[in-house]
Structure 1
């Protein structure tokens, strides 16, 4: 939770500083931000889940010598994927931002910011994948401390680079991009140093590629990354559907759906713990205990997210009023939260059980569940709004239906035992 909250805080601070450069700079950064956040979710929760799951299962099975090899493969994976995205984004950035409506000064600002940020995006991948490896060992405090120290560094350094300070020249929006690179490079260096200390007794680091280790990482990591892509696609389409009702409805949807994103750090913290504990127990053949961990974590998530969901469903102005006093925005946002708020527990159920399945080394059913959520929310929303011409509230119904489908599929897969196929089982009663 701390890592994600720190990264969100850094992002908010960056946008605050960039906003002082004017509307064009802010709009340009807004074009880049979704793609950078996609990198964050794919590395921390996508391939990162594959790394954490592989480490946890290796420890549970007693294959401690393989853990350092998985760490090395985390670095190799981060280098390959990070450099690939650097090449793709630098080559396609100008066309991409122009196709999204960026013109003139907005396009130039987006391109400047993007080229610098994505030139160093490999640091983001290395730090997040190494952080996932440490979490798979059960050491969540290390990446959390580094994230907090990095955030404390970036928040004052960023304005110094943007606006200039003493001998530091003003770099404008490019300074914001450079600050992010420095932040991620520092986190990468710190994690590499701590990793080296943990395997000092083993001698030199073995970076020889192992197809079996890559396969173990990618069979969880690739589907999890595709799930992140589907979630981003769903957000884009639903935002487009909300925009059909005008600026007030679009603003209302943006504010109301932001509540979903505020739940993610909490769920991610719980889910990361569940993934590690399930992975270790599954690796040790303790399937019964792994199942109890999964359901206990899901119950905790349902309570933690259900309380604010129900609260804001009953009194939506408590949330909406923090961002707007416009009566039209408040009315549309209230209609949306009245419908979606009570279904937050279903979102928590699906989220945490999907991480539990990943901890067991299975991503098929979580991917089916995420796909069902996408199809229900987008498909029903499109039919209701575009085909049938129903009102803005239909968007809430479609979103809630998708969340329910997501939770039910994950719960059925866990209940049926489908996520435990292929796992070793300890003989006798597990404790």
Structure 2
């Protein structure tokens, strides 16, 4: 009988990953770091893709660069929703089931996770194919810029199911404690995407130049290759759990177990995107130099966030297994230690940039006015990126525990704080430096409220033990 057929729960095989027992009983800090470093490598590869794409898209012309700037937030939102949010819910549910010793339930969760990925992928595909051009036009797209952004989005979002599948499959593997395989595949995908995106976008030898649609196609081909690799790994039984197809039946309780974390977690990237839009709108009133300074700051925040995500995602399976096994004290200790590590590491890097901002600024601009505004922004705001890292750690730790409502509400509080604070400062005709201070204060608020949410939220399964 195939390895993904019906079978009784039994001892987990020992594939090349951390076994559930190691996640449950191993020393916390070494285990966390062993799970974090592959993610850091993978996220670094993602940053490299963004830089490389900007480079060769620039060779297509300024309109192509503007088109990519228009569609990129929608691409990143899709990746965040499917990867950091929904995939986190998948990893949490699987880790909790394995921690409770319910392997059969974990395998059924994998199948339900794949159905969720297909459903949301189709929703994104149909939504963007029907209304994508109108949305891009509302975001400011005009003329050739709108045409190129639409051409890219039709290819990319036409394959949205692939993007959702690849990220959810990675979440499945992370739920078992296997961080290395999905991370290595992301690195592999980055290399393929850079090569194919450049080749199909600009043309090479007998390959014609497809422009922006070619760049999008490179992303989808890379995702397809990764899907094939992860499906082979899981269906062959090498992952320790495999999707159950034989005798499969839909169990709404399993959908609920994933979505109670994944669907709520989706609100976090949505609110983060809205927060950035509000801040950009407020700072745009002070001119191009100030807006450019904010853009340089957000680039730094993005880079530092990827490091913080590495620790946060690494905590999900450790906490999930501990929750499933009823080891609540260990789960909370992992959460606080993850927060401390993320706060310390990001705080040290961001603090160094605040003290010596010029090397970072010089990567992007030479304009004197923008340079001065960027120095002021980074010296005011950068030290407090540590609180963003702390909030990220609490967000992912809560995913592992299966209750992410608190950190999401902390994001809501930050958004409201910025909205009300920004309105007040505008009424007082405040300076740009006051808005910088508002931004920094909102980061402190987010970090502290996220910690408070973890401290007061009850952790511990109520129904996880039931299959």
Q: TM-score range by the shorter chain?
A: over 0.9
1:48 Cα offset (Å)? 1.0
From 105, 115, 138, the counterpart of 2:154: 115
Instruction: Check whether the contact 1:164–1:170 (CA below 8 A) recurs between aligned residues.
Output: yes
1:192 Cα offset (Å)? 1.1
Instruction: Check whether the contact 1:219–1:361 (CA below 8 A) recurs between aligned residues.
Output: yes
Q: 1: distance between equivalents of 2:289 and 2:52?
A: 26
From 148, 151, 160, the counterpart of 2:199: 160
Specify whether residues 270 and 103 from structure 1 end up closer, same or farther in structure 2 by C-alpha distance, changes over 3 A only. same
Q: Which residue of 2 aligns with 1:244?
A: 285
Specify whether residues 391 and 136 from structure 1 end up closer, same or farther in structure 2 by C-alpha distance, changes over 3 A only. same
Q: Which residue of 2 aligns with 1:362?
A: 403
Alignment of 1:378-397 (within 5 A): 378-384=419-425, 386-397=426-437
Q: Which residue of 2 aligns with 1:428?
A: none
Instruction: Check whether the contact 1:413–1:419 (CA below 8 A) recurs between aligned residues.
Output: no
Instruction: Check whether the contact 1:237–1:378 (CA below 8 A) recurs between aligned residues.
Output: yes
Instruction: Check whether the contact 1:283–1:424 (CA below 8 A) recurs between aligned residues.
Output: no
Specify whether residues 157 and 202 from structure 1 end up closer, same or farther in structure 2 by C-alpha distance, changes over 3 A only. closer
Specify whether residues 292 and 203 from structure 1 end up closer, same or farther in structure 2 by C-alpha distance, changes over 3 A only. closer
1:209 Cα offset (Å)? 2.1
Specify whether residues 141 and 171 from structure 1 end up closer, same or farther in structure 2 by C-alpha distance, changes over 3 A only. same
SS of the residue 1:362 aligns to: coil
Instruction: Check whether the contact 1:52–1:135 (CA below 8 A) recurs between aligned residues.
Output: yes
1:424 Cα offset (Å)? 9.1
Q: 1: distance between equivalents of 2:439 and 2:192?
A: 38
The answer as to 2:417 corresponding to 1:376 is yes
The answer as to 2:56 corresponding to 1:20 is no
TM-score (normalised: structure 1)? 0.94
TM-score (normalised: structure 2)? 0.87
Q: Which residue of 1 aligns with 2:110?
A: 71
Q: Which residue of 1 aligns with 2:444?
A: 404
Q: 2: distance between equivalents of 1:159 and 1:22?
A: 14
1:261 Cα offset (Å)? 0.5
Specify whether residues 315 and 165 from structure 1 end up closer, same or farther in structure 2 by C-alpha distance, changes over 3 A only. closer
Q: Which residue of 1 aligns with 2:309?
A: 268
Q: 2: distance between equivalents of 1:202 and 1:132?
A: 13
Q: Which residue of 1 aligns with 2:245?
A: 205
Instruction: Check whether the contact 1:377–1:400 (CA below 8 A) recurs between aligned residues.
Output: no
- Specify which structure has the bigger relative contact order, considering alpha-carbon pairs within 8 angstroms and separated by 6 or more residues: 2
Instruction: Check whether the contact 2:107–2:241 (CA below 8 A) recurs between aligned residues.
Output: no
Note the residue ranges of structure 2 that are not aligned, 5 or more in a row.
1-39
Instruction: Check whether the contact 1:357–1:419 (CA below 8 A) recurs between aligned residues.
Output: no
CA offset digits 1:218-260 (Å, max 9, x no partner): 0001111011100011111111112111111111110122111
The answer as to 2:290 corresponding to 1:214 is no
Q: Which residue of 2 aligns with 1:150?
A: 189
Specify whether residues 209 and 16 from structure 1 end up closer, same or farther in structure 2 by C-alpha distance, changes over 3 A only. farther
1:67 Cα offset (Å)? 1.4
Q: Extract structure 1 runs of 4+ deviating beyond 3 A.
A: 199-204, 421-425
From 158, 168, 177, the counterpart of 2:216: 177
Q: 2: distance between equivalents of 1:165 and 1:424?
A: 56
Q: 1: distance between equivalents of 2:337 and 2:356?
A: 29
1:423 Cα offset (Å)? 5.7
SS of the residue 2:266 aligns to: helix
1:369 Cα offset (Å)? 0.8
RMSD: 1.9
From 227, 230, 236, the counterpart of 1:188: 227
Specify whether residues 4 and 423 from structure 1 end up closer, same or farther in structure 2 by C-alpha distance, changes over 3 A only. farther
Specify whether residues 10 and 339 from structure 1 end up closer, same or farther in structure 2 by C-alpha distance, changes over 3 A only. same
1:12 Cα offset (Å)? 2.6
Q: Which residue of 1 aligns with 2:23?
A: none
Whose helix proportion is higher, 1 or 2? Answer: 1
1:113 Cα offset (Å)? 0.7
From 310, 319, 335, the counterpart of 2:376: 335
CA offset digits 1:390-427 (Å, max 9, x no partner): 111122212122211111122223333x24155699xx
